[in-house]
Structure 1
Amino acid sequence: MPPRRSIVEVKVLDVQKRRVPNKHYVYIIRVTWSSGATEAIYRRYSKFFDLQMQMLDKFPMEGGQKDPKQRIIPFLPGKILFRRSHIRDVAVKRLIPIDEYCKALIQLPPYISQCDEVLQFFETRPEDLNPPKEEHIGKKKSGNDPTSVDPMVLEQYVVVADYQKQESSEISLSVGQVVDIIEKNESGWWFVSTAEEQGWVPATCLEGQDGVQDEFSLQPEEGRGNFLLTPSWQPLLKD
């Protein structure tokens, strides 16, 4: 039995609109294999999200489930709140971050980068062999397409306590600020995005816009800076 081929290079080339079974966008990806073959595949954002969830479930240590500082699995570009952005613009803006995500993924140790889930994701599927002849969205200059929704909605939380970052992987927070949640970690640290930057923050500083804290808003575990909140919501660092 010949050895299983491995992934050598992945390049996200463009974004394409599809109309079947409903309007959505797919990323055109060129995959180069150890066999020398180069193939084109088409994946929508929701499939990347599914892959990311599989990876975090299969590799909890490498996904930073216990200690976010030990994470080596790359972050997937966050879900988008579509009512604020045109869907086509969102798809285009995601292209470079998704390309960087793919490159980072295949540069991980082989037990991750060449695992079944990754190989199956990048393998050519029947629908990749005869893609519909659709226009690449970069060629379209005008017109709105508000129905083209890949139904992934980003959660937003309000900052209820100031926080000053302790490490380069974190960001500082100010009361009243609204952040987008990219990923929730059971350690009590969440990876969030603001208009200016992305980074880890204590979930205890955040509250849902309905005034309710999430079930994962636990006290951050020791190892990323020990952080407590007083009843007046003021941050207090332990000695």
Structure 2
Amino acid sequence: MGDTFIRHIELLGYEKRFFPSQHYVYMFLVKWNDLSEKLIYRRFTEIYEFHKALKEMFPIESGDINAENRIIPHLPAPKWFDGQRSTQSRQGTLAEYCYTLVNLPHKISRCLHVVSFFEVRPDDMSPVTDSQIRKPEVFLLPKDAKKNASDITGPIVLQTYRAIADYEKSSKSEMALKAGDAVDVVEKSETGWWFCQLKNKRGWVPAAYLEPMDGPDESEEQEPNYEGKTLRKPYFLLQKCWVGLEELWHQSTISNAKSIHNKGRKQISQETYRRNSKKYMQNRRNMRGNLKNKDIISEKNEQEENKSKAQPAVPPRPSKDLIMNRCTESTRRKIM
């Protein structure tokens, strides 16, 4: 077999981590010539140091001698403080950089410096973390995003699933499960294997071993139906493909998996619709009641205000005798 080289590098997004301190790492899916696919994580400072070393190795292709001969792509230097905004905004540039890098002449794209930088490290499979600190936030780059920062998704709340049976891993890229384990799903592969994380462990597990936790998001999702299909691992596990489902789990597990994947989306949607409709009608009734109360209060206030503005009643004219008794002598003479 020939030398190892990279076929393609795809930027998936980035993670916001909180251990040992808050920082950001980019997620790359690296596809190799042996059809394997590896998920790696790199800080931008690491990528920039790699870039500077690559330029020193190939001064002509980097344009140091003559700028017109440059074929190695440009990469902006890190900022004094790389926050979330700068991490998000440079994703388009970084995705284009990786695409150009892989398509450079073989003496550059397949050199040991490039190959070794994108190889899987131990912390890619099991990142160092602290159970007392909150888990990383994942920001995925949509596949149809056209290098526009406004297309970048917000923080992705990873879906949590529960293991319905014990699972023993058969390779380093997989992850063992115990019945009842709650795992976060990072990636769902069409092969029937999902890339999950459990505390500080990460790896691929069969999708049929997982059921969604109780919650509106999970219940609304239509699960793929793997019944009757050969469960096939991703490319980097082809050497250990399993032909039948019977080698993975016993009959009770299969029945549990069927009960998961045979959920009626239409029925769930109707229930959700009815639930939302009840809330909507209740809100409408509350709004009408509030408006009615406001009208009554407003009408009372208006009546009271009108009363306060009304002119006082005119008292009756005093009798002639009362006037004569109380008036002055001058007034009495005029009347007489």
Range of TM-score over shorter length: 0.5 to 0.7
In the TM superposition, 1:1-239 aligns within 5 A as 2-80=1-79, 82=81, 87-131=83-127, 133-137=135-139, 138-140=153-155
Q: Distance in 1 between matches of 2:2 and 2:20?
A: 37
Look up the SS of the partner of 1:108 in the other structure: coil
Q: Deviations over 1:105-152 (max 9, x none)?
A: 1100010001111001110000001235511144439xxxxxxxxxxx
* Aligned-residue offset at 1:78: 3.7
Q: Distance in 1 between matches of 2:126 and 2:3?
A: 25
Q: Distance in 2 between matches of 1:121 and 1:38?
A: 15
Look up the SS of the partner of 2:30 in the other structure: strand
Match of 1:167 in 2: none
* Aligned-residue offset at 1:79: 2.9
Contact between 1:77 and 1:98, CA under 8 Å: does it hold in 2? Answer: no
* Aligned-residue offset at 1:28: 0.4
Q: Distance in 1 between matches of 2:4 and 2:116?
A: 11
Report runs of 4+ in structure 1 exceeding 2 Å deviation: 77-82, 137-141
Look up the SS of the partner of 1:72 in the other structure: coil
Contact between 2:45 and 2:78, CA under 8 Å: does it hold in 1? Answer: no
State TM-score, norm by structure 1.
0.54
Which range is displaced more, 117-126 or 13-22?
A: 13-22
Q: Which amino acid aligns with 1:30?
A: L
Look up the SS of the partner of 2:137 in the other structure: coil
Q: Which amino acid aligns with 2:61?
A: E
* Aligned-residue offset at 1:81: 5.3
Q: Which protein has the larger Cα radius of gyration, Structure 1 or Structure 2?
A: 2
Q: Distance in 2 between matches of 1:21 and 1:59?
A: 35
Q: Which amino acid aligns with 2:98?
A: C
Contact between 1:26 and 1:42, CA under 8 Å: does it hold in 2? Answer: yes
Contact between 1:17 and 1:136, CA under 8 Å: does it hold in 2? Answer: yes
* Aligned-residue offset at 1:87: 1.1
Q: Which amino acid aligns with 1:11?
A: E
RMSD: 1.8
Match of 2:240 in 1: none
* Aligned-residue offset at 1:97: 0.7
State TM-score, norm by structure 2.
0.39
Q: Which amino acid aligns with 1:20?
A: F
Contact between 2:48 and 2:77, CA under 8 Å: does it hold in 1? Answer: no
* Aligned-residue offset at 1:66: 1.1
Gaps of 5+ in 1: 142-239
* Aligned-residue offset at 1:71: 0.5
Q: Distance in 2 between matches of 1:60 and 1:77?
A: 18
Q: Relative to total residues, which structure has the larger strand share, 1 or 2?
A: 1
Q: Distance in 2 between matches of 1:81 and 1:43?
A: 18
Q: Deviations over 1:137-188 (max 9, x none)?
A: 44439xxxxxxxxxxxxxxxxxxxxxxxxxxxxxxxxxxxxxxxxxxxxxxx
Q: Which amino acid aligns with 1:95?
A: Q
Look up the SS of the partner of 1:61 in the other structure: coil
Look up the SS of the partner of 1:57 in the other structure: helix
Work out which structure has the larger RCO, using CA pairs closer than 8 Å and 6 or more positions apart in sequence.
Answer: 1
Q: Distance in 2 between matches of 1:81 and 1:50?
A: 15
The alignment-based identity, stated in percent, is 34
Q: Distance in 2 between matches of 1:78 and 1:123?
A: 23
Match of 1:161 in 2: none
Q: Which amino acid aligns with 1:140?
A: P
* Aligned-residue offset at 1:22: 2.0
Q: Relative to total residues, which structure has the larger helix share, 1 or 2?
A: 2
Q: Distance in 2 between matches of 1:40 and 1:3?
A: 23
Q: Deviations over 1:38-79 (max 9, x none)?
A: 110000100111111111111011111111111011111343
Q: Deviations over 1:72-104 (max 9, x none)?
A: 11111343354xxx8111101111110110110
Q: Which amino acid aligns with 1:51?
A: F
Q: Distance in 2 between matches of 1:134 and 1:4?
A: 36
